[in-house]
Amino acid sequence: MLSSPGGPMERQRNTRLEALLTEFDFSHTSLAKEVNKVTGEIFGKAGDCTDRHVRRWISGEVRWPWTKYLLPLERIFDRPAQGLGFVPRGKHSANLPTPPQLRSPAPKEVEPVQRRRFIAASAATVVLALGIDQTPVRGRLSMSDIDRVHERIGRLDAHFFEIGGGPLAETATAYVGRLRDAQDSCTYGGRVEKALHGAISSLYASAGWAAHDGGEPARAALLHTASLQSALLAADPSATARAWSNLALQARMEGRHREAVQITKAALESRRARQDPRIAALLHARLAIGQARTADRSGAARSLLAAEKAYDRVDAAGPAPTWLGFLSPAELSGLAAITYEALGQYDRAEAATTQALRLLPPSMRRSHAYYSVQLAELQLTQRDRAQAAATVQALDASSLDSRRIAGRLAAVQRTLTT
């Protein structure tokens, strides 16, 4: 029988919330647990949400949950209730109260709303959001399990490119621990064994970058060394080239520029670097920086040209691995700018940095902030304080979590105020 016009509203599935569960890798049960955890943070008392609540929200049976559920959901997904696909019962119900701990007598003390839940998240929360705790630690592992591991590693890397290190070093090392448990407790064949070592190498490399971004150079060095060890156990040429590249960068950051040049040259001799133009382009660009800092001007120029030539062959190389997702014409321009700066060619460095910023896609917010700070530093070096101030003013770093970038930005701001 058809319902009358005044009858109950037809149930409509909340596809928006359903898509968010997929995006953040939540099951009904894990989201309910997260809601209860955040409820405790907001109200001082753990919630009573269950997987049944989540099912009713998604099915459309409940179109506007109680406030005690909506406030945690808004914080978890960092968007308003209606942005989660919920429909208010009336015009007044849409006006949710301010969560207790966010009320403040001095508005200036309230922290700005984070654009991404990842930014303020603890490592444990990030582990839950990515579904890292779902990686099996018993039974038999297959290549499908490894594919899912790499998918999660790719998501970790994507978050780094977007917001910086944040909790990712802890998250990646926690995931390493999970995979170590799988190595010890699961059964698998030789192919899966090597793939596991390769995944662990990737995680160590990601953790090393996050530690470097978080201002922990000693920890970063240990993680990059561990990445190389696992890459060798995996017999993975790409992972090995990545590890050597990161170790060369680590040496450069510690002021050991000749060692950095030697490591990079050795990496360029590998079969993988000869076969993969992306890796070759990255290594040549980083080699140019090392050569510039060891006063090898002609070598630096040759390496920059070699990086351009290698990148010209990228289109025929197929899709890039996720860890090389940052490598683009914009990144090569930025690396060239660092080379020019080391050579004392500040005008060329400024022009190359400006080009990098122009070419960067909006999603690469960390890179945009990094090269914006670099541009302001170059402008100050050339005594263009007004332009440096304008560059800093245009930079929005509020949604980033990178101590390294924040420290450099603070130094620029101090210089501008003295």
pTM, full prediction: 0.65
Equal fold, 236-327 vs 337-418: yes
Judge: domain 15-92, CATH 1.10.260. yes
Q: What's the pLDDT score for residue 362?
A: 83
Q: What's the pLDDT score for residue 192?
A: 86
Pairwise CA distance, residues 239 & 150, whole Å = 13
Range with the poorest average pLDDT among 7-11, 164-168, 407-411? 7-11
Q: 236-327: what fold?
A: 1.25.40
What confidence category does residue 109 fall into, taking pLDDT thresholds of 50, 70 and 90? very low
What confidence category does residue 122 fall into, taking pLDDT thresholds of 50, 70 and 90? very low
Judge whether residue 334 has pLDDT over 90.
yes
20: closest CA among 1, 34, 3? 34
Q: What's the pLDDT score for residue 365?
A: 84
Judge whether residue 254 has pLDDT over 50.
yes
Q: What is the mean pLDDT of residues 184-200?
A: 87
Mean of the per-residue pLDDT values for the chain? 82
Pairwise CA distance, residues 202 & 238, whole Å = 10
What CA–CA distances, in Å, run from 32 to 27, 29, 96? 9, 5, 20
Pairwise CA distance, residues 177 & 198, whole Å = 14
Range with the poorest average pLDDT among 258-262, 303-307, 364-368, 382-386? 364-368
Q: Which residues have a Cβ under 8 Å from the Cβ of 253 and sit 6 or more positions away?
A: 212, 217
Domain range annotation of the chain:
15-92, 124-235, 236-327, 337-418
Range with the poorest average pLDDT among 34-43, 118-127, 209-218, 408-417? 118-127
Hey, which CATH number is domain 337-418, 3.40.50, 1.25.40, 1.10.3470, 1.10.10?
A: 1.25.40
How crowded is the C-beta side of 174, counted as CA atoms within 13 Å?
Answer: 20
pLDDT digits (tens, 9 = 90+) for 363-381: 888 889 899 999 999 999 9
pLDDT digits (tens, 9 = 90+) for 44-62: 888 899 999 999 999 999 9
In a 3-state reduction of DSSP, which class is residue 51?
Answer: helix
Range with the poorest average pLDDT among 97-101, 135-139, 368-372? 97-101
Judge whether residue 20 has pLDDT over 60.
yes
